[in-house]
Structure 1
Amino acid sequence: MRGCMETSDLIARAVAGDHDAFRELVEVHSHELQVHCYRILGSVQDAEDALQETLVSAWRSLGDFGQRSSLRTWLYQIATNRCLSMLRADSRRPRSATSLPDVSLPEPTGVSDVPPWLEPYPDVLLDKLVDQAPGPEARYETTEAISLAFITALQLLPPRQRAVLVLRDVLGYRAGEAAQMLDATQESVHSALKRARATVDNYLAESGSGRPAYQPDTAAEHRLVARLTDAIERADLEALVGLLVADVRLSMPPAMVEYRGVDVARRIFTTVTFRPGRSYRVVPTRANGQPTFGMYMADPHTGVYRGYSLLVVTIVGYRITVVTGFDASLIPRFGLPRTLHGTD
């Protein structure tokens, strides 16, 4: 009761123009709202923009809130519809595949499902979500639904299906609540959810990622991270290949190409990664609940190691099933430096 009274007081003060009261109201929800926007949009930058637009809209319309639902639900409604509006505009997203980042790469074995706008989400920003329990209708734990495979699967859905699945299966809202948030009928929500679940389940089953799971910092994972780091820094091809499953998948957005199979991976590591004259330093981190590596390549003229790429790996058992390589421009988002010196 006391909490409700305090919330009502803050709302009244915020409606009267008290910015500090509004900030106190929304700050407890702002991070989970950003993750929600990231799930729907697949881009950290777009999610940050959507969050800011959500908060601006909430500030302007707080007088119309009326407390007919919880403040959290009302904010999720605004955020979800803000994301859908951004997807309809679709002006900031690459509409076609870019060229391969290295011309010496072999011919791809297929087209990747990973969209060109997909970005990894730093695990350090997920720590605050661990205690955020989903509602009674959820099929996924809050942190379970952050894996790169799950985010990729969401991007395969039409926007409305994407929003319905996140509201129902990740956040656990009931069908009637989701329908109200989307200004839709319960029948349309049920229909959209059925189609969305089929697409997501099929993708996860076929992608080699399996059901996404958030398993931070296990001893087995630590050993694999250490072995992968050592193999890259020593340019040990056999040790690196030995960490991969036979049908490993490699992709590198925004180029929508895929390489599948350990033999193709061996050719890439031989002709590109371990090309004569190249050497690396590797700094482990985490993204989307998965082991991630900042790779730095040595500048032969200065001895400085410059950011080369960000690798996110999916592990099943004790082997790597998927490697997704992102542009080095994303490295600073993980608190990693752009360059390393030989003594670092």
Structure 2
Amino acid sequence: MDAPPDVADATVPSMLDDCALVDAGALGDLDAFETLVLRHGPALHRYARRMLRDAGDVEDVVQDTFVAAWRQLGSFRGESSVQTWFFAICSRKIVDAHRFKRAQPVDDGFLESLTPSARCEDPFLSASNAHFMSALEAALDDLPSRQRATWVLREIEAMSFVDIGAVLTLSPDCARGHHRRARATLSERLTRWQ
């Protein structure tokens, strides 16, 4: 007798589910592709927002990512996860956006949502969290692009170094090295909060 599926497991998309959706999309199933967009769009948007910072460029890059993916559905070989494939396309679109226009920093407040400062009733703690988030944003902005990308993909998107390497066309060890340098720089810049 099979045990009933775990509810938590049912909410997590599996690679098999994604591959089946890609196959259906390649045959013209728009609903299957829409499911992929809804499933992976928020993560791609977070990543693009961390890398570009201009809201218009972010929207364009994410849209261009899905347009390119739609056109290439038939060429997806399944050598990596669908998520990794989407992030690789998005990464190339981000590079293209940097070529055409230098990114302008915009306070998007994304990382603030990761802190409890909005619920905090202690004014000192709330102010301290806001200062930390501002310092983190500034430190991230100063990182070289690949270091920032590896940090965002690892720390925010929780991707493995193998997947990060596939996204950024780096070896896993090289991705790990960029992440290590990013963490060292951030640690040095943010010693006040350690």
Distance change >3 Å, CA 150–CA 43, structure 1 → 2: farther
Q: Which structure's residues are more often strand, by fraction? A: 1
TM-score (norm 2): 0.69
The residue identity in structure 2 corresponding to 1:85 is: D
1:200 to 165, 182, 186: 186
> Structure 1 stretches (4+) deviating beyond 3 angstroms?
1-9
Hey, what's the Cα distance between the residues in 1 that align with 2:150 and 2:23?
Answer: 32
Distance change >3 Å, CA 6–CA 172, structure 1 → 2: closer
Distance change >3 Å, CA 66–CA 167, structure 1 → 2: same
**What's the offset of the Cα at 1:37?**
0.8
**What's the offset of the Cα at 1:8?**
4.1
User: Retained in 2: the 8 A contact 1:42–1:152?
Assistant: no
TM-score (norm 1): 0.42
Larger radius of gyration: 1
Hey, what's the Cα distance between the residues in 1 that align with 2:55 and 2:161?
Answer: 28
Which consecutive unaligned segments of at least 5 residues does structure 1 have? 94-116, 128-146, 212-344
Give the corresponding residue for 1:139: none
Q: Which structure's residues are more often helix, by fraction? A: 2
**What's the offset of the Cα at 1:23?**
1.2
Give the corresponding residue for 2:147: 161
Give the corresponding residue for 1:18: 29
**What's the offset of the Cα at 1:122?**
5.8
User: Retained in 1: the 8 A contact 2:150–2:179?
Assistant: yes
Give the corresponding residue for 1:72: 83
Distance change >3 Å, CA 6–CA 159, structure 1 → 2: closer
Question: Which structure carries more relative contact order (alpha carbon 8 Å, separation 6+)?
Answer: 2
Distance change >3 Å, CA 11–CA 189, structure 1 → 2: closer
Distance change >3 Å, CA 92–CA 196, structure 1 → 2: closer
SS of equivalent residue, structure 2 residue 190: helix
Which consecutive unaligned segments of at least 5 residues does structure 2 have? 115-132
1:42 to 39, 53, 60: 53
Pairwise CA RMSD: 2.8
Hey, what's the Cα distance between the residues in 1 that align with 2:63 and 2:136?
Answer: 24
- Would you say how many aligned residue pairs link Structure 1 and Structure 2? 163
Give the corresponding residue for 1:293: none
Distance change >3 Å, CA 15–CA 153, structure 1 → 2: same
Sequence identity of aligned pairs in percent?
30
Hey, what's the Cα distance between the residues in 2 that align with 1:79 and 1:152?
Answer: 23
